[in-house]
Structure 1
Amino acid sequence: MLNELLRSHDGVITLAQANRAGLSRQSVHQRVNAGAWRRCARGVYFVDDRPFTDAARIRSAVWSFGECAAASGLAAAWWHGLTRFAPDVVEVTVPRSSSGRQRDGARPRRRDLAAADVVERRGLRVTSLPLTAIEAAVRGRGNRGLMDRALQGDSTLPQLWTAHLRNTGRHGSPAARILLRAAADGAHSEGERILLKLLRAADISGWRSNVRLGKYVVDVLFRDARVVIEVDGWAFHVDQTTFHSDRTRQNAIALNGWQVLRFTWLDLTEYPEQVIATIRAAIRA
């Protein structure tokens, strides 16, 4: 029972779990004194016969704040599989009444989560996928695509909105609302405005916006360079009909001798320098 528990918990065990597995407090202390177990925090141990993985680090950090703690933010995003890279600092959500203090490698957030916003994955309490997606997406530049990955999986936009509205007033709430609106139909027009702003800021001229080209109206056109720029509302959050229509439109424009560049809302907001560099290269070719 003990070996199975350690295997499924990445080598991490709490004192309470050890007691339930039949070990006394004295037996646990003997293992620590012998160097077989390492004390991670009060009442949390790691069996030092295996690598201390990211999973073990996150699990021990969460459990160090007690049974009511839950991984949140980027730590929860990694646990759900939304990102390949575990954060250096583990964000842990604890109840408002908790007395736990900040520890090295962990950052507590005090708030009371609704039951619908907490799930158990591989024996660890983490924020639910919808709440995780909208919170992790605003944890610094480069993470907005996490929300899109959730939408490509099992989460829906209404589920994300519901989780957001249930947790208004939290850290990052205004930025999350902007992302949720962008994931809806309004993202395309907002993406166009961002693109035009980037072009003006980069002092790029020779373009016109919303120009008719044959039977289509294109977002931005460089007539002399024969370059067309099209803006997609989000990254991959499009239905199959829209995807097919956009590609048919792009092929028709390209067959008439125009080079077509496509940028998503995420490209424009996360990688504006790369967008401008691509446009400069195209109009100079």
Structure 2
Amino acid sequence: DLRDSLIVVVKSPHPPHVDAELARQAGVQHGVLSRAQLLAAGLDVRAIDYRIAIERLQPIHRGVYAIGHLPSSPLAYDFAAVLACGPQAVLSHRSAAALWRIAPGWWAPVEVIARGKHFHRGVLAHRSRRLAEDEIATHLRIPVTTPARTLIDLADVLDDEQLARAVNQALLLQRIRLNELAVLLDRSSGRRASGRLRGMVRQSDAPTRSVFEDAFLAFTERYELPRPAVNQRVAGYEVDMLWRAQRLIVELDGYAFHSHPRGFESDRERDASLQVAGYRVVRVTWARLERRPEREAARLLALLELAAP
């Protein structure tokens, strides 16, 4: 029979259910959609209002909605803030720093850079006429300033200690290269705060891993000691601070690890190995650095001068 030899493909006249399509689209945007996206998907104004009334759409900002329920993730509120401030908006400043993990915690309100003025509850919009293409990235599916541009923006809003910590964290996580940041700083030379960041970049040789290390570097600068190299490998060990020419090492003793018996024994084992390799090892505690910094500076200066080549 001819009918048995035919394969008939029948295309459904009905497109996929619009709510299923919206859920799919929201899934790649951390559960949030803009009103423009709802209209583009085929909903009209009455359909949008109906879904709001039955709580299928949850308003977050004017013209921005969560699908089904209000989200618990900070990423959703970051994306919602970007949507609320227009198609060229990007996450910025402290919120961008949190997204890149170069600053602790999630900053509220959510900070964005956008064209024009925008006023939304829980959003701090910084006006900018233009961001260069190499200053914009996408991270965790959220439009955001690059780590280098983020650091430049942070220089406007953080104090010196917080800014130094962010620079160190960006270096530690390999989010930035110093030469790339230097190029962007040259481009941003008109911004007053960029001078502070330029000084930190000029001094950076390796990223520090703790506030203690940051404080020690500030201490060496304050007492005009030669700047040590940071987190260098010597005789198979990674040491905190190193003056290689003078063969002097400073290890910074934080209480949490070094107070444990195993930590104590490990420290003495590495100290002995480093001394056999021809290095003096000095251990500095936070308490001594804070309470008697002049005495610590005098000791280190004497050791550096004693070992001067």
User: What's the C-alpha RMSD, in Å, of the aligned pairs?
Assistant: 4.0
Give the Cα separation in 1 of the matches to 2:101 and 2:170.
Answer: 9
Give the Cα separation in 1 of the matches to 2:36 and 2:234.
Answer: 50
2:121 equivalent to 1:104? yes
**Displacement of 1:259:** 3.8
Match of 1:82, SS?
coil
Match of 1:144, SS?
helix
Question: What are the equivalent positions in structure 2 for 1:222-237 lying under 5 Å apart?
Answer: 232=228
What is the match of residue 252 of structure 1?
A: 275
Match of 2:248, SS?
helix
1:114 aligns with one of 123, 132, 138 = 132
Match of 1:91, SS?
strand
Unaligned runs of 5+ in 2: 1-20, 207-213, 250-273, 298-309
What is the match of residue 261 of structure 1?
A: 284
Give the Cα separation in 2 of the matches to 1:191 and 1:233.
Answer: 14
Kept after mapping to 2: 8 A contact 1:89/1:106: yes
Match of 2:60, SS?
strand
Do the aligned partners of residues 189 and 88 (structure 1) sit closer, same or farther apart at CA in structure 2, a change above 3 Å counting?
closer
Give the Cα separation in 1 of the matches to 2:176 and 2:279.
Answer: 40
2:184 equivalent to 1:156? no
**TM-score normalised by structure 2 residue count:** 0.62
Q: Which amino acid aligns with 1:181?
A: R
Deviations 1:221-277 (A, max 9, x none): xxxxxxxxxx6466x6x68999669286324399998743289xxxxxxxxx99414
**Displacement of 1:156:** 0.7
**Displacement of 1:124:** 2.5
Deviations 1:104-141 (A, max 9, x none): 32222112211111122344321112111343366324
Give the Cα separation in 2 of the matches to 1:171 and 1:133.
Answer: 14
Give the Cα separation in 1 of the matches to 2:169 and 2:181.
Answer: 12
250-259 or 11-20, which deviates more:
250-259
Give the Cα separation in 2 of the matches to 1:122 and 1:49.
Answer: 21
2:203 aligns with one of 163, 176, 182 = 182
2:179 equivalent to 1:140? no
Q: After the TM superposition, which parts of structure 1 deviate over 6 Å for at least 4 consecutive aligned residues? A: 187-190, 238-242, 253-258, 280-283
Kept after mapping to 2: 8 A contact 1:138/1:176: no
Kept after mapping to 1: 8 A contact 2:92/2:111: yes
What is the match of residue 263 of structure 2?
A: none
Match of 1:161, SS?
helix
Do the aligned partners of residues 53 and 138 (structure 1) sit closer, same or farther apart at CA in structure 2, a change above 3 Å counting?
same
Give the Cα separation in 1 of the matches to 2:233 and 2:157.
Answer: 27
Kept after mapping to 1: 8 A contact 2:136/2:145: yes
**Displacement of 1:159:** 0.8
Deviations 1:72-106 (A, max 9, x none): 111111222323411012221113xx2x2333322
Q: Which amino acid aligns with 1:103?
A: H
Do the aligned partners of residues 256 and 183 (structure 1) sit closer, same or farther apart at CA in structure 2, a change above 3 Å counting?
closer
2:65 equivalent to 1:45? yes
What is the match of residue 24 of structure 1?
A: 44
2:262 equivalent to 1:276? no
Kept after mapping to 2: 8 A contact 1:118/1:126: yes
Q: Which amino acid aligns with 2:120?
A: R
Give the Cα separation in 2 of the matches to 1:274 and 1:74.
Answer: 33
Do the aligned partners of residues 48 and 155 (structure 1) sit closer, same or farther apart at CA in structure 2, a change above 3 Å counting?
same
2:33 equivalent to 1:5? no
2:74 aligns with one of 29, 51, 54 = 54
When Rg is computed on C-alpha atoms for both structures, the one with the higher figure is 2
Q: How many residues align?
A: 236
2:189 equivalent to 1:172? no
Q: Which amino acid aligns with 1:127?
A: T
What is the match of residue 145 of structure 2?
A: 127
- By relative contact order (CA 8 Å, sep 6+), the higher-ranking structure is 1
Give identity over the alignment, percent: 19
Kept after mapping to 1: 8 A contact 2:93/2:154: yes
**TM-score normalised by structure 1 residue count:** 0.67
Give the Cα separation in 2 of the matches to 1:34 and 1:154.
Answer: 44
Kept after mapping to 2: 8 A contact 1:164/1:173: yes
Unaligned runs of 5+ in 1: 197-208, 211-218, 220-230, 264-272
